[in-house]
Chain A
């Protein structure tokens, strides 16, 4: 840890809410607009949200509502047009390139909606690449990579390249990859979208286990209603706004109200 970093962290005291929960990701007035051929699309129109350490939050919303854009912002993968993102109370905009790389490599795991696997690498190589970037020795990386592939049920396919696998299989490789450096936060963009009921269920159980046993904070965009059974909180996004945030317990009381959103 460099001196600058520790200074940055020391500068702001971790903010705990009334229930004593520690805020791990916080956004302030987050806006993002894309300009394409002179047409401005406002994907996010002011998002203020705090996500707590160790919680499992499901993000829901219709297609095009800005879920993926929101994920890219809080995962330090894209720069907001207006507003700020704090990760553990450090302003992401203040980080150096090396610190950003470290953060993306070790602390946050990403499961992309379009998988974004590297085409010329085998499943195993895809899973071990973040480990290599993180300085893990090749032998150890290989061993851990294999056990991660086993976890998602693809141990036998470790030498296959992405084009040789089905969409669901690729998604599972992407999930294994996101776990390669034991992240503190897992950002999942529709992790079960391409999976059959059974495999989807297994992945959900895996996420739940990571959340409960390892204390990984999970932020998960989804259309999958089963997610509601395991998440702590639900957040609805519509047209780049937060439509509603509610604890699961509260949502369950008003049965039937969910689908309307």
Chain B
């Protein structure tokens, strides 16, 4: 007779557990692949958003810097031709760090001690805050507070006690406006209006003088031509006048940019060049016959297969990217240069040729080469990409992880979608198998074995889906960014960040899959077998 004794059930070895799990996955390969596909999709979506965000952030950082550098020539041209306004001085001082050139330069121009300059900067910052505060208000509110005062005029206006009183009354009346500056500080600030105008006027006067000194040394050159020379004597002229113009750092940059701008302008000007042939009248009393020719326009029209009238500068730059065409363009430029040297040419048949739209000096080809033209043309497309990148990444830097508010929100939503997708897929897959769980329990499986089986399986599926998904999402993200940013993209691939993003996506996918499989399987494993079988 067989008796019944009871003991504790031993644990199944890990090897057997893994084998049973893998057999299960193999058998349900189709169903498992559907689940994995859902996980893949969810993770790919997440990774796509993440990679795009990261690249955008990097592109934004890179472009801002590059665009600022590429615009230095405009800054200096402006600076050497006009002294600016009191407001512009206040704004640039508020933003500048104590080590920056502009800070030191203004300090020199105003002949201030370090302490005085620092306090001038502090006042400037407050003034900028005040001006911006009123800038952001709508017209009616602004008018009720400070009437029509603008810029530094606001300080002047508020220095009048009556006006200050009006402002304070208006401020207390309009509850929706939050003015962050303490009132006693504002009172102090308006009293310093005199100091501010003193300093800015001093700087303006010094700048005007310095500009005059520089202009005197132009010697008939345009400012841009002179700046192209700034690595040599013109740089010294600028320094002598009192500007801080670094020989090592600023001068080479400015000179290259000036040369580039000169060449660019010269090429763009070629569009306007006209050659007029004047034929002597064949009959007496008749007017002379004229034939006008645009040599460069015609050259381009031929190349682009359009009418000369439709040719524009953008087209010129596009075609100059080809070296062959650039060489032909250069040949034409040499012809025009020769024409320009003889102001009026008379041909054998008595006709004469007049060159218009360009002076003899401007027509000089100088050191321009086909290679240089190609380089300029390519630089232009790059610049266009930069400008485009800047526009596309306007909001980067704010919000979560500096991803920009819109992107951070998108990332949050995609994480949610990813989570719901994976949870749903896994829960469905487990619920379908309650019957199997029940049967295994009838045969003596421990709850722990069932849990391990599902953890293993879901981790495996999560891992596979996560890896495929993150690679897929990354590739899609990278190619999309390549299309929208072009060349600006290559210098901005944040490899480390992308790897981290991939790791996060894979982990998130796996973890979510595991959790969403474990919860229902735990529920089922704890039930009596036949109860589990009854669960729909």
Contact = CB atoms under 8 A, between A and B. Distances in A.
A119 B4 contact: no
B441 A216 contact: no
Contact of B529 (A78, A105, A106, A161): A78
Given A77-B529, A79-B531, A98 B9 contact: yes
A120 B19 CA distance: 12
A214 B27 contact: no
Contact of A116 (B9, B439, B446): B439
B6 A9 contact: yes
Interface residues of B, number: 35
A87 interface: yes
B163 interface: no
A111 to B, nearest CB: 11
Given A77-B529, A79-B528, A118 B9 contact: no
A133 B7 contact: no
B28 interface: yes
Interface string A214-230: 11110000000000000
Contact of B6 (A1, A132, A135): A1
Most buried by A among B6, B441, B449: B6
Most buried by A among B442, B528, B531: B442
A118 B444 CA distance: 14
Contacts of B436: 118-119
A107 interface: yes
A171 interface: no
Contact of B444 (A90, A95, A133, A215): A133
Contacts of B4: 24, 87-88, 103, 107, 184-185
A13 interface: no
In this complex, the interface size class of chain A, counting residues with CB under 8 Å from chain B, is: 35 or more
Contacts of B435: 116
B10 interface: yes
Contact of A121 (B2, B9, B23): B23
A118 B7 contact: no
Given A105-B9, A118-B436, A78 B531 contact: yes
B23 A120 contact: yes
B96 interface: no
Interface of A: 1-2, 5, 8-9, 22, 24, 53-54, 72, 77-79, 87-88, 90, 95-99, 101-107, 110, 112, 116-121, 125, 129-130, 132-135, 138, 161, 177, 181-185, 214-217
Given A5-B7, A8-B6, A116-B442, 11 more contacts: A2-B7, A77-B529, A87-B4, A101-B9, A101-B445, A101-B446, A105-B444, A120-B27, A130-B444, A134-B444, A135-B10
Interface of B: 1-10, 12, 16, 20, 23-24, 26-28, 435-436, 438-447, 449, 528-531
